[in-house]
Amino acid sequence: MLYRLRNADFTVRVFEAGDGVGGTWYWNRYPGARCDVESMEYSYSFSEELQQEWEWTERYATQPEILRYLNHVADRFDLRPDIQLQTPVVCADYDEGSALWTVGLGDGSTVTARFVIMATGCLSQARVPSFPGLEAYRGRTYHTGDWPADGVDVSGLRVGIIGTGSSGVQVIPLVAQEAAATVVFQRTPNFTMPARNAPLTVEKIAAIKADYAKLREQARWSGNGTLRVNYDEPAATAPPELIQQRYEAGWAFGGNDIVGSFNDLTTEQMSNDTLAGFLRGKIRQIVRDSQTSQTLTAQDYPVGAKRMCLGTDYYETFNRENVRLVDLRGEPIKDFTPQGIRTSAAEYPLEAVIFATGFDAMTGAILRVDIHGRGGRSLRDDWAGGPHTYLGLASAGFPNLFFITGPGSPSVLSNVVVSIEQHVEWIGEHIEYLRKRDLASTEPEVEAQEQWVAHVNDTAARTLMMKAASWYLGANVPGKPRVFMPYLGGVGNYRRICDEVTAADYRGFATG
Ligand code: N01
């Protein structure tokens, strides 16, 4: 966004809480952190030179490699002079008279700006649940989303890990290799696909680079922003042999392409059950202990309704002598003691506890900033019942405020780099449009916004996504309204809608 606006001759300043660039890849430094979108796709396309120059080394890049890449981008495009690190933004107030925002920074100073763009990320507000007794616990505690930069040595320790989402699935196998004992506290079992990560071959890199323009365009108009093959036929009427064959091929290929095996897996429960049954069968084949296997296959929601995880030796790890799985459904956590964790059935002495407990997703990082718009109205109040945006890009009553991959856009249901680039382009173009016409402000019309919110909800309601207590719905944060936040219509459709809004002179936006 900085690069896009700077190239259009705007004065731009970026404020960043961390002491380095990289966002999610800066904070999530836990062992095993790796992307679940293939590296050659999970990278910027805005510069042909950049995409030709950079050499990814693995099918799925590790956190250190992605962080190196983002630092390279910052240097290559000379972005650092306009990025102010170690500077959290605490508030933003809009003045109607001047049509300017006053942004309050952590050190008490303020800056004014015509436009404010929240590039705050969807999964950046780490969340530690409030367990009774936690403050008296004498061991060490870590959150995967706020991992110490110089690493953590768990060798020889008894380590507890709470949470088995994407972060837990990645960190558990590596901690188990180092720790004396690893106790995994699982509330809801996930569905984990083998990542089948491998080094990228010179031939594969060359083939993609030779065809990059076409492949990037294909991803932009796809369902989820990747090059995944999506078969256009339902499992409901497919012969059992074909179903088995597709799922076996998906399992062997690794990654989450398996969900593209049929076109009704996200909408038809019985079709989804065929995939769930297949995956449970694979877990049972891997995990030797029957009780552990049962706990890992007790999913009570459709595949994909909670985000599918990618793992490397995840299920295999539960065959290790030094790993134990605790089923929190059978024995919930009562409290922390000074020595460890106490469930309703036992006390587990632990020298360290890792919280892989996720984030206040999608709205958490936006609402952490105390934002007041027209007439002093508060965004926190406006979104108390769930986020209201037009296209996930802006909210009525908050002129000249934009969200990159905000709630109501495909965001977390897509290859987020594709979605980020689309928002950056759209916002950049809109701001240039305003400048050209000498317009001081823009904001969604309430009617257009409410129609969009209804459309986002209707789209989700037509799928199986509402059948899980997921973070997509805010269900992981006690008290958070249960509203399906990302837009499920697909990145290609969404891009088309945004382009139509632009072509129709920003239909649904009031400018003045
Ligand atoms: O967080 P999560 P995450 N007591 O919310 C459990 C992206 N990501 O950091 O399911 C006990 O998914 C919770 O249990 P339940 C990706 O989009 C990507 O793992 O609520 N347990 C769950 O098991 C991902 O989806 C990558 O019942 C509690 C876990 O903690 C998103 O980030 C890697 C609890 C939280 O899982 C978030 O992933 C990592 C409690 N009180 C992350 N509260 C890749 O690219 C929560 N839990 C591969």
**Which whole number is the average pLDDT over 464-473?**
97
Q: Report residue 487 as tokens.
A: 């837009």
Ligand 1: atom nearest CA of 476 is 20
Q: Which atom of ligand 1 is nearest to the CA of 328?
A: 11
- The confidence score (pLDDT) of residue 253 equals 97
- For residue 357, the ligand 1 atom closest to its alpha carbon is 30
With a 6 Å cutoff on the Cβ, whether 357 touches ligand 1 is: yes
Determine phi and psi for 324, rounding to 5 degrees. -130, 140
- Cβ contact 304:228 at 8 Å: no
3-state secondary structure of 454: helix
* Distance from C-alpha of 472 to C-alpha of 306, rounded to nearest angstrom: 8
How confident is the model over 111-137, as pLDDT tens digits? 999 999 999 999 999 999 999 999 999
Q: What is the 3-state secondary structure (H, E, C) of 183-224?
A: EEEECCCCCEEECCCCECCHHHHHHHHHCHHHHHHHHHCCCC
Say if ligand 1 is within 6 A of residue 327 CB: no
Ligand 1 centre from 431 Cα, in Å?
36
CA distance 347 to 362: 35
Average pLDDT over residues 406-431: 98
- The predicted pLDDT at position 20 comes to 98
- Give the pLDDT band (50/70/90) at residue 84: very high
The DSSP output letter for 257 is: G
What's the confidence (pLDDT) of residue 4? 98
Backbone angles phi, psi at 207, to 5 degrees: -65, -45
> What pLDDT is recorded for position 451?
98
Note the pLDDT of residue 25.
98
Would the CB of 123 count as within 6 Å of ligand 1? Answer: yes
Please give the distance, rounded to the nearest whole angstrom, from the Cα atom of residue 163 to the centre of ligand 1.
Answer: 6
Write down the residue that tokens 């367990």 correspond to: 131
Whether 167 is in the pocket of ligand 1, judged by its Cβ within 6 Å, is yes
Chain centre to alpha carbon of residue 68:
20
CA of 13 to the centre of ligand 1 (A): 33
Report, in this order, helix, strand and coil percent for the chain, each rounded to 5. 35, 20, 45
**pLDDT (tens digit per residue) in 277-315:** 999 999 999 999 999 999 999 999 999 999 999 999 999
pLDDT of residue 441: 98
Q: Is the CB of 129 under 6 A from ligand 1?
A: yes
With the most atoms of ligand 1 within 8 angstroms of its CB, the residue from 63, 66, 123, 130 to mutate is 123
- The answer to whether 149 and 31 have CB atoms below 8 angstroms apart is no
Quick one: pLDDT at residue 186? 98
Q: Are 235 and 302 in contact (CB under 8 A)?
A: no
Cβ of residue 358 lying under 6 Å from some atom of ligand 1: yes
Give the model's confidence band at 328: pLDDT under 50 very low, under 70 low, under 90 confident, else very high: very high
Confidence of residue 502 (pLDDT cuts 50, 70, 90): very high
pLDDT at 229: 93
Structural contact between residues 236 and 267, judged by C-beta atoms closer than 8 angstroms: no
Q: What secondary structure letter does DSSP report for 146?
A: G
As a whole number of angstroms, the distance between CA 288 and CA 306 comes to 25
Q: Provide the 10 A C-beta neighbour count for residue 381.
A: 9
Q: Using CA atoms, how far apart are residues 296 and 279, in angstroms rounded to an integer?
A: 11
β-pairing, 100-105 with 110-113? antiparallel
State percent of the chain over pLDDT 70: 100
38 with 226: CB under 8 angstroms? Answer: yes
For residue 168, the CA-to-ligand 1 centroid distance in Å is: 7
Residue 485: which pLDDT band, with cuts at 50, 70 and 90?
very high
Helical segments of 211-303, H only: 212-220, 240-253, 269-286, 290-296
What is the rounded CA–CA span in Å between residue 461 and residue 436? 40
* Kind of pairing between the strands at 192-194 and 309-311: parallel
Dihedral angle over CA of 253, 255, 261, 265, nearest 10? 150
- In this prediction, residue 421 carries a pLDDT of 98
Q: How confident is the model at residue 199 (pLDDT cuts 50, 70, 90)?
A: very high
pLDDT the model gives residue 357: 98
Q: Is the CB of 395 inside a 6 Å radius of any atom of ligand 1?
A: no
Mean pLDDT computed over every residue of the chain: 98
Question: Per-residue pLDDT averaged across 14-22, rounded?
Answer: 97
Give the model's pLDDT for residue 442: 98
Give the residue-averaged pLDDT of 37-57: 98
Q: pLDDT for 355-398, tens place per residue? A: 999 999 999 999 999 999 999 999 999 999 999 999 999 999 99
Structure letter (DSSP) for residue 222: S
Kindly state the DSSP code that residue 381 receives in the 8-state scheme: H
The answer, yes or no, to whether any atom of ligand 1 lies below 6 A from the CB of 334, is no
188: confidence class by pLDDT, cuts 50, 70, 90: very high
Please tell me the total number of residues recorded for the chain in this structure: 512
CB 31 within 8 A of CB 175: yes
Q: What ligand 1 atom has the least distance to the C-alpha of 123?
A: 32
Structural tokens at position 507: 């239909």
Q: CB count, 10 Å around CB of 482? A: 12
pLDDT of residue 72: 98
